[in-house]
Amino acid sequence: MNKKEFYKYGTRPIYSEENPKGIIRYYAFQWETGEFKEDMTYMRKVRFDFSGDREDLTE
């Protein structure tokens, strides 16, 4: 089973998913399509949140 963590970065919902091999992918909500799409640019933003824009969420 994949482990998921949920965040809000600014106003954008984000989630990360770790697969059984330990690889973590980040997915950002796309306002245009209403779907989540892989977006690894949020890895650094979420993990090293220097701006204080990250909010941890529950599913």
Task: Convert the pLDDT of each residue in 13-53 to its tens digit.
Answer: 999 999 999 999 999 999 999 999 999 999 999 989 888 89
- What pLDDT does 51 receive? 87
Rounded Cα distance, 15 and 29, in Å: 9
- Laid out side by side, the sheet with 3-9 consists of 35-38, 24-30, 12-18, 3-9, 54-57
Contacts of 30 (CB under 8 A, 6+ apart): 36, 37
Q: Show me where the domains of the chain are located.
A: 3-57
Question: pLDDT confidence of 58, banded at 50, 70, 90?
Answer: confident
Give the pLDDT score at 55.
93
How high is the pLDDT of residue 50? 85
pLDDT at 17 (0 to 100): 96
First to last CA, the chain: 16
Min mean pLDDT across 1-5, 24-28, 52-56 is at 1-5
Please give the Cα distance from 54 to 48 (Å, whole number).
Answer: 9
